[in-house]
Structure 1
Amino acid sequence: MYSVQITYFKCGGVSLGVGLHHYVVDGVSGLHFVNTWSDITRGLDVKFPPFFDRTLLRGRDPPRPTFDHIEFRPPPSLKISSNSTQSGLHDQNTSISTLKINPNQLNVLRTKFMEDGKSTVTYSTYEILSAHIWKCTCMARELLDDQETKLHIATDVRTRLDPPLPHGYFGNGILITTPIALAGELRSEPTRSAANRIRDALKRCDNEYVRSAIDYLELQNDLSALARGPNTFKCPNLAITSWVRLPIHEADFGWGRPFYMGPGRIAFEGLVYILPSPTNDRSLSVVLALQSQHMKPFEKFVHFYRSIRGVPNFCDHVTVFKQALSKALVPFYPAAGRLRCDNNGRIEINCNAEGVLLIQAETSSIIDDFGDFAPTPELEKLITSFKCGGVSIGVARHHYAADGWSGFHFVNTWSDMVRGCDQITTPPVIVLERTWLRARDKPQPTFDHIEYKLPPTLKTSSEKHQSESGHHCENETTMASIFKLTKDHLNRLKAKSKEDGSNNNNNKVGYYTTYEMLAGHVWRCTCKARDLRSKPSWYAVSRVHDAIVRMDNDYLRSAVDFLELQPDIPLLAPGGHTFKSPNLTVVSWVRLPIHDTDFGWGRPTFTGPGGIPYDGLAYIVSSPTNDGSL
């Protein structure tokens, strides 16, 4: 009935594999057992005992099925068109894929439902997502219009019965609900129609229907003939099982909550699972198995947030795009200028209205080829149209002229104008008054401005001297990488820093910001990776905190005065030598409006640095879904 495998990983992690027989228990009962086991492992008592009385699901005497139970009929078989080949449709390899669906994408799909049907019906997340998956699968499989397709929905009947099954009922309380539709109808009708079919099938599964189904089974001579297998769900059919309401992340055996829980394998083609996020960020994962030839088209169709039907294609949109850019440059006129040096060698902006460099490019790649988006004059813009219909906007600007706030102020104003919003929300005249940052007369720096001193050079131990000469270090290859930190990761980091610094009287860890915590942790980890000595995390965090606190009005005015007195400003310009080992720069974009740029295609799925030119540069970027991850 149960089988368990524990696997220990080299890194110290552990995986727990649990196999159970569905004839005996369903997911609710299976997790009841596993979570009770984990509680006992941690020394806790059994929260609620299992209930074993199976007579609650016996047939009536005499059995009296009153409904047509299509869920127990054989599924529709695949129709083959005259121009299709047998070899192209049978014996195909199966591919398994996991697709992450964030809350913003679900909201886009929900909004599309309302627009398609002008309906006042409130659909559940399961109905919306399952309808979308069912429709996309029909499209990816290129089914004939008159092809019947059957959707299998695992439905928990515990609360649908009257009276409901007792809490803790240990057994299998699942009935498969099966709406049927023609593939042509699913493709041509709004997705809302598929959702209505799913909703009607679920609504039909009430106490009378469930009791009728039990009676129907009671009358069957050979129940094994009704057993579901690979032929049940394969093309042209589908099964979508939701684990969203199951307590799949509560099995804490003393190592904490699992960071992943899902099916150990997907046995058959056509099986789909919807899983909740372990961080409770309201995102979902769709794990599915399809024939390999159908998986790529499915991924393209299901990613509705990349290229939305009805939204103008960029190539058709380019005229409006350029006109809006011209309009945006009027109030932001310095961005249309050029940088030059004045008579004293100082850099200034020449507002000559020469405009910006805009490049339009096309690529045969699709956005998904880039996975998690590994990073790649006055103002330069590169617009790349992807084969899948997605678009990326690359913006380059000179930091001598504008910082991140000003850069995004311009770009977001431009995107507003593309959408027809002529009103500028923040008057740029505030940005253009540069006299506010002039030095005092006369300049009077009052602090020791170590930020303008040369960075420390790398010390090389005598042991390393033979194998790591200076020439060798200069030619090390630099790698760029992206790490996703969830809200749970950040909370654990804060808790760990509190533990590490609890014995330090000067530790004020409760007042530290997320940036201070994360920057301190990154700084310390970088030192460890570079084989440099380091103190506990709280020490690095406190150094970051103290440096930021020091940056008040007096210090900033002193810095402006210090720069005013320098005879050769370019000597102070940071470059590759500034950030490389043993040094580091950690720049936060968390408070910048980096995801507000909507050119009519919706919010961007990713915004980040287009390239990281130097070793030692780090950026902290917020999530586009506001889920608290970084």
Structure 2
Amino acid sequence: MASVIEQCQVAPPPGGAAEVRLPLTYFDLVWLGFQYRIRRILFYKLPISKPHFVQNIIPPLKNSLSLTLKHDTPLAGNIARPLDTNGYPELRYVTGDSVSLGEPKDAPRVQLAPVLAIQVTLFPNLGVSIGFTNHHVVGDGATIVGFIRAWALLHKFGGDEQFLSNELIPFYDRSVVKDPYGQGMFIWEEMKKKNLDMRDIMTPPPEHKVRGTLITIRRDDIEKLKNLILKSRRQGSSTTLTHVTSFTVTCAYVWSCLIKSKDAIGEEMIIDDSVIMESFGCAGDFRARFNPPLPQSYFGNCIVGCVTRSIRHVDLVGKEGFEIAVELIGEVIKKKMKDEEWVLNGDWLKELNNVLKV
């Protein structure tokens, strides 16, 4: 039976910024209306006892986390939603904020919601896990993974900041994110009509036990998949394969297998699979694709969704299903991830919404 050893709040060290305020960009606001949290768990083999865990593991973790929040300060803050209809939401940190599992607290004329919670769990004499839960509004995978890497380095080297590379020092200037079509304000105006409450986007603990399935695709597996595509090309496959990468073949393999497995277990109740249409969506980091590009250490969200052309179910489960999946995924990535106009005018979001409505 699990027991709680300690609940605490960890704040940036004294002497740092007294206040940090980051207006939400178009790419952040996309996530504000979703109760969408990102959860990660890192596992470490560490055969230690509970006393050792409490005395020797937790204190340096707290200290290095505090030092990391000196740089990733908004993660210790809140999403701030002004109650004034003329206001605009932002990420806000003020002295005294911390990484916490506490209830949302409000400031005058502002609703606040914390953005990050961390849990460290001991499995006595086996290992330790560190779990992270953050709301997507605060940042995408690149932002959160950058924070985790920085924390790991500061912990490893006893808080010595000289080991932090520039790519792990967050870049906060929101003026570099272009929004010529006013997509951010448009999204915010639509959200205000829904009377969003910050308590609706809080991060509650899971209500049910979660069972996960781990699938490992090794490097040699990926090379075999790529070679299969090359062989298909040489044999004159009907598909036109122009963008073959590790990401493309991995996604295509998972997609085609998922569709086939649903058929095999009878999850898909298909009467006529020649009229059922399938599509695949993935997210892409657009930092390096803007002109000029954003720094890789840009703090926040900068991902867009890409959705393939629809394909008949019968084709995807057929003999060339994998090759077709590679073609469709490669096609949309090659075309859309070079189209800055498509990103800035909001067409990518419209395409994604159309799929989600189906």
Normalised by the size of structure 1, how large is the TM-score? 0.30
Amino acid at match of 1:561: N
How many angstroms apart in 1 are the aligned matches of 2:257 and 2:134?
31
Kindly indicate whether residue 141 of structure 2 is the aligned counterpart of residue 404 of structure 1.
yes
Please say which structure displays the higher CA radius of gyration.
Answer: 1
CA contact (8 A) 2:71 2:170 kept: no
Residues 1:491 and 1:559: Cα distance change in structure 2 (over 3 Å): closer
Task: Tell me what 1:548 maps to.
Answer: 333
Residues 1:515 and 1:352: Cα distance change in structure 2 (over 3 Å): same
Residues 1:315 and 1:514: Cα distance change in structure 2 (over 3 Å): same
Residues 1:427 and 1:507: Cα distance change in structure 2 (over 3 Å): closer
Q: Which runs of 5+ in 2 are unaligned?
A: 1-43, 103-113, 184-209, 264-312
1:19-98 counterparts in 2 under 5 A?
none
Task: Tell me what 1:334 maps to.
Answer: 74
Residues 1:573 and 1:388: Cα distance change in structure 2 (over 3 Å): farther
3-state SS of 1:382 partner: strand
How many angstroms apart in 1 are the aligned matches of 2:216 and 2:169?
38
How many angstroms apart in 2 are the aligned matches of 1:415 and 1:488?
29
Kindly indicate whether residue 179 of structure 2 is the aligned counterpart of residue 436 of structure 1.
no
1:445-460 counterparts in 2 under 5 A?
none
Kindly indicate whether residue 284 of structure 2 is the aligned counterpart of residue 503 of structure 1.
no
Task: Tell me what 1:314 maps to.
Answer: 53
Kindly indicate whether structure 1 or structure 2 has the higher relative contact order, using CA contacts under 8 Å at least 6 residues apart. 2
3-state SS of 2:137 partner: coil
The partner residue of 1:348 within 90, 101, 105 is 90
Task: Tell me what 1:118 maps to.
Answer: none
Q: Deviations over 1:512-536 (max 9, x none)?
A: 1011112112212222233342342
How many angstroms apart in 1 are the aligned matches of 2:120 and 2:66?
16
CA contact (8 A) 1:321 1:418 kept: yes
How many angstroms apart in 2 are the aligned matches of 1:439 and 1:399?
20
1:498-577 counterparts in 2 under 5 A?
498-501=230-233, 502-504=235-237, 507-508=240-241, 511-531=243-263, 532-535=313-316, 536=320, 537-553=322-338, 555-562=339-346
Identical positions, percent: 22
The partner residue of 2:214 within 470, 476, 482 is 482
Q: Deviations over 1:250-283 (max 9, x none)?
A: xxxxxxxxxxxxxxxxxxxxxxxxxxxxxxxxxx
1:139-538 counterparts in 2 under 5 A?
306-307=45-46, 313-316=52-55, 317-342=57-82, 343=85, 347-353=89-95, 354-357=97-100, 377-419=114-156, 420=158, 421-423=160-162, 424-426=164-166, 430-440=170-180, 442=181, 480-501=212-233, 502-504=235-237, 507-508=240-241, 511-531=243-263, 532-535=313-316, 536=320, 537-538=322-323
Task: Tell me what 1:62 maps to.
Answer: none
Residues 1:324 and 1:491: Cα distance change in structure 2 (over 3 Å): closer
CA contact (8 A) 1:524 1:540 kept: yes
Amino acid at match of 1:562: G
Give the Å deviation of 1:494: 2.7
Q: Deviations over 1:278-336 (max 9, x none)?
A: xxxxxxxxxxxxxxxxxxxxxxxxxxx82268xx9431232222122112111211111
3-state SS of 2:94 partner: coil
Residues 1:551 and 1:356: Cα distance change in structure 2 (over 3 Å): same
CA contact (8 A) 1:527 1:533 kept: no
CA contact (8 A) 1:493 1:517 kept: yes
3-state SS of 2:315 partner: coil
Q: Deviations over 1:416-467 (max 9, x none)?
A: 2223122332266653122222302x559xxxxxxxxxxxxxxxxxxxxxxx
Q: CA RMSD in A?
A: 3.8
Give the Å deviation of 1:479: 6.6
Normalised by the size of structure 2, how large is the TM-score? 0.51
CA contact (8 A) 1:443 1:562 kept: no
Give the Å deviation of 1:495: 3.1
Q: Which runs of 5+ in 1 are unaligned?
A: 1-304, 360-376, 445-477, 583-630
